[in-house]
Amino acid sequence: MALELNNEYQYGFHDSEENYAFKSGRGLTKEIVLSISKMKNEPQWMTEFRLKSLEIFYKKPMPKWGNTQLISEIDFENIFYYVKSSEKQEKNWEDVPKEIKNTFDRLGIPEAERKFLAGVSAQYESEVVYHSLREDLKKLGVLFLDMDSGLREHPEIVKKYFSTIIPPEDNKFAALNSAVWSGGSFIYVPPNTKVEIPLQAYFRINTENMGQFERTLIIADEGSSVHYIEGCTAPTYSSDSLHSAVVELIALKNAKIRYTTIQNWSKNVYNLVTKRAVAHEGAVVEWLDGNMGSKLTMKYPSIYLVGEKAHGEVVSVALASGSDQHQDAGAKIIHAAPNTTSVIISKSISRNGGRASYRGLLKVLKGAANVKSSVKCDALMLDEKSRSDTYPTMEIDEQGVQIEHEATVSKIEDEKLFYLMSRGLSEEQAKLMIVNGFMEPFVKELPMEYAVELNRLIELEMEGAVG
Amino acid sequence: MKTKEKKKSFELPSDEPKWLFEKRLSALISYEKEPLPNRVSHLWKYSDPSWFEFNSNNGSIVSSEKLKPVFALDNEATEKGVVLIELSDAFRNEKYNDLILKYFSQLTAKCPNKFAYFNEAIWSSGYFLYVPKNVKIEKPITVRLLFNQLSSLEAVRILILLEEGSSLNLIDEMSSPEDSKRLLNTVTEIFLEKESRLSYANLQLHSKQTISHLFQRAEIKNNAELTNVIVALGGKISKADLGTDLCGTHAGVTTYGIVLGDGVQKFDHHTTLEHNAPYTKSDLNFRVALKDTSRSAYTGNLKISHEAVKSDAHQENRNLLLSSDAKAESIPELEILTNDVTRCNHGVTVGQIDKDQVFYLMSRGLSQKEAEQVIIEGFVEPTISRIPEESLREDIMLKIKNKLGVL
């Protein structure tokens, strides 16, 4: 991993600092931003963009909502904003803690991947797979690069769309990302091109894959379709205390984008991510968003339905486990055109003192007639120590609408448990079955291997849930 | 000294006990110290707190002539010991001193609030209602507060106390003459002791020039039950902040809300429901119909604390938009700190008037206006029909019809 920033290394497999080719000092200054831009040989406009964003970052106040107590603990002065690692990153597999290795075992993660995920290897050895995929994509004219290469090789496309959906003024963390971004994916799909297999960040793994301030831009041109998968179910160990990504999706007329994320950051990470999509006429955007890890996640994938008959969908699950974890996730959908439709399905599970919050916004702007939207939030609480919140906001400016919102909070019902146990299942098996059933609407949308991994992960998390 | 002078300018009755005067002074200092509420928190997201501040923009004439609540207690109630008197009289009467000292401003003190401080400093009218232990009164008591022409600022204070095992039906009807500009600040405190039962209705029928801020807090003890009906038809800007603390086992609250907006009316209703004891139950049903450029915001916060096991909570908010310029907002929040809940859910819908229904009614000979009236009545009916007292149901329906008739 490229951007190991904090000097504290919770899991003990600490890099010696000499391994880094370049490391900025702690804290954030104009000089650091300039040197990041210079190291990357960026065009002038990007350098200026970074500097402008830095000013905005300084000026913007911290969010006054959400878990303000936890966010106020972030120490911006004590973060390395840019670290470029040298070619060889030598962490030792032997140093990886046992419980992490166990998790990999249980999830059935291939050997090469494990090393990458544990931060032992910066390179996931998928070159062969990736290479053949790359050939196929090339034939289609699909661009699939990391963001830095995207900017180098296709500056005209990047310049046209970059930061048009999420301006640095949007929020403090978007401004921070805009100033110091590094890595992330750049995808362009030409008109009427259907990318059949999901594009995974996995396949494009290099030293700048899963950074701290990654920046992703996906453009699906008219009539095209693409499915992108970010992250993975296996735990991602990072010494970074702050992960703040910006993801922009642009679905032009009749295009379709599906973006799947499953984040499983280690529990020292603040995961504060801005994700937004614009759907033009007849376009479809779907966010599938799974939140398993991190200390605090604040992430509300948004869809602006700006063209007639556009459709947006956000399906999310959150698992908050342990009193040191708060999943504050949700969705935002803005209907800005007539005949647009949207669906939000949110599922959260809190256990062992964890806190899961759904925070959502559904907005129908004036003139967006004949809008239909349905929002459904279900929360499952597994013990009396845990907490579940629902913070939905609905702002409706137009009469021709059908809006429905429903939320339920429940526990595992004794009747259901009894029924399953009377069929010969143990209590643990029965509970797991109920939890799996609860997660079904999300899991069934995932590619098979992800679904399998996610189920195993839930099984692992549920261990010891009895009693 | 400045504060004292200011206070004097409100021309308060001089025959109050000294401690109350001191209390007013300290409330006035708190009011001045307390900053305007933060608009980031959802409670003030849709209304500007400065609308409810007393300043030269929204009124400067304060009448020394006190607003008189109009009510009548029948013989039965009086004989059983029910007390209904003006609050200022209750303060002057030594008989009620102990009760007043024990209960007055106990609930507002729990939630420091600029507008409640303001009320505490300058309230001049309102009433004190007391129902003794095990006294049950069937016949509804109606209190009418008709605001007079002269004053542009009114602060009303209501204190309701039901002792153990008692029960009562109470209706507050608040109205003001047409074309009278005024700012109104009402604070209501309701105490329900063990096993008591109160059905309370607040009917807001103000003129279209009135700006009203209602702050209501209720504390419900073991096995006690509150039925809380709020009907908002009038006012230019009407904000109501209704809070209930279910602090006794098996305590319950049922809230029915009806809002009908037209013209440029703005409504902002907030409910805070706190389940703080086991086996508590809350049910909320809020229906909003909006015409023209009227706006409504409903925000709710439902908390189930760690202790409140086996609680049952249900919230429902339905909005009907009758014009493309009307606007409805809804934020029903849930904060659940225990998994051992019997039921906890909420639902919101926002919809338009069904054109097929209008067409059908018109094909039966109704004018479009009549058809819309019928549909609005049908929309609010499911909430109204659940209100237990028949006379109140009829009264509310009549007032709604009145308003629809002039729509």
What is the per-residue pLDDT across B131-157, written as a single tens digit (0 to 9) for each?
Answer: 999 999 988 999 988 876 666 788 899
- The Cα A165–Cα A332 span in angstroms is 14
- The Cα B239–Cα B164 span in angstroms is 32
Q: Which of A396, A404, A405 to mutate to test the interface with B (most CBs of B within 10 A)?
A: A396
List the one residue out of B222, B220, B230, B198 whose CA is nearest residue B130.
B198
Q: What is the pLDDT of residue A137?
A: 83
- Name the β-bridge partners of B190: B160, B218
Beta-strand ranges (E) seen in B62-181 are: 70-71, 83-86, 125-131, 141-146, 153-162, 167-175
Burial per residue of B66-83, b for 16 or more beta-carbon CB atoms within 10 angstroms, e otherwise: bbebebebeeebeeeebb
Can you give the three-state secondary structure of A322-389, one letter per residue?
CCCCEEEEEEEEEECCCCCEEEEEEEEEEECCCEEEEEEEEEECCCCCCEEEEEEEEEEECCCCCEEE
| Residues of A in Cβ contact (< 8 Å) with B41 | 65
- Name the β-bridge partners of A353: none
* C-alpha dist (Å) from residue A313 to A436, B16, B329: 21, 63, 21
Are A195 and A227 a contacting pair, CB within 8 Å? Answer: yes
Q: What is the rounded average pLDDT for all residues in chain A?
A: 81
Which pair of tokens denotes residue A391?
């913070």
Q: Which of B314, B339, B344 to mutate to test the interface with A (most CBs of A within 10 A)?
A: B339
pLDDT digits (tens, 9 = 90+) for B254-292: 999 999 999 999 999 999 999 999 999 999 999 999 999
Mean pLDDT on A361-365: 94
Q: What is the pLDDT of residue A257?
A: 97
Are A223 and A253 a contacting pair, CB within 8 Å? Answer: yes
Calculate Rg over the CA atoms of chain B: 21
Tell me which residue in A387, A404, A411 faces B340 most closely, judged by beta carbons.
Answer: A411
Q: Does A112 touch chain B (CB under 8 A)?
A: no
Beta-strand ranges (E) seen in B221-340 are: 225-232, 237-246, 252-261, 266-275, 281-290, 295-304, 311-321, 327-336
Residue of A nearest to B330 (CA): A394
| Residues of B in Cβ contact (< 8 Å) with A388 | 334-336
List the one residue out of B148, B137, B140, B122 whose CA is nearest residue B71.
B140
CB atoms closer than 10 angstroms to residue B154:
27
> Reduced to 3 DSSP states, what percent helix, strand and coil does chain B have, rounded to the nearest 5?
25, 40, 35
Q: What is the pLDDT of residue B340?
A: 83
Residue of A nearest to B306 (CA): A384
Alpha-carbon gap: A373 to the closest alpha carbon of chain B (Å) = 10
More reliable by pLDDT, B357 or B5: B357
Q: What is the rounded average pLDDT for all residues in chain B?
A: 87
Tell me which residue in B329, B336, B349 faces A404 most closely, judged by beta carbons.
Answer: B349
Mean pLDDT on B45-52: 86
- The Cα B137–Cα B151 span in angstroms is 35
Residue ranges of the domains in chain B? 4-353
| Max Cα-Cα span within chain A | 69
Of chain A residues 35-54, which have a CB less than 8 A from chain B? Answer: none
More reliable by pLDDT, A309 or B112: A309
Q: Does B334 touch chain A (CB under 8 A)?
A: yes
pLDDT at B12 over 60: no
Burial per residue of B349-358, b for 16 or more beta-carbon CB atoms within 10 angstroms, e otherwise: bbbbbeeeeb
CB-CB under 8 Å, A404 with B347: yes
Q: Does A74 touch chain B (CB under 8 A)?
A: no
Are A222 and A190 a contacting pair, CB within 8 Å? Answer: no
Q: What is the pLDDT of residue A2?
A: 36
Q: Which of A62, A395, A402 to mutate to test the interface with B (most CBs of B within 10 A)?
A: A395
Mean pLDDT on A310-320: 95
- The Cα A104–Cα A118 span in angstroms is 9
Are B251 and B223 a contacting pair, CB within 8 Å? Answer: yes
- H-type helices in A23-126, by residue range? 30-39, 44-59, 68-71, 98-107, 111-117
* C-alpha dist (Å) from residue A411 to A381, A383, A387, B44: 5, 8, 11, 33
Q: What is the pLDDT of residue A94?
A: 66
For helices A448-462 and A98-107, the axis angle rounded to 10 degrees is: 130
DSSP A236: B
Q: Please state the ipTM of this predicted complex.
A: 0.70
- The Cα B319–Cα B166 span in angstroms is 36
Helix (H, G, I), strand (E, B) or coil at A444: coil
pLDDT at A262 over 80: yes
Size of chain B, expressed as the number of residues it contains = 407
**Which helix (H) or strand (E) covers residue A415, if one does?**
helix A414-422
Please name the residues in contact with B79: beta carbons below 8 A apart, sequence gap of 6 or more.
none
pLDDT digits (tens, 9 = 90+) for B219-249: 999 999 999 999 999 999 999 999 999 999 9
Of chain A, the percentage scoring pLDDT greater than 90 comes to: 42
CB-CB under 8 Å, A392 with B333: yes
Q: Which of B304, B348, B372 to mutate to test the interface with A (most CBs of A within 10 A)?
A: B348
pLDDT at A135 over 90: no
| Residues of A in Cβ contact (< 8 Å) with B321 | 396, 398-399, 401
Mean pLDDT on A391-418: 87
CB-facing half-sphere around the CA of B150: CA atoms within 13 A? 6
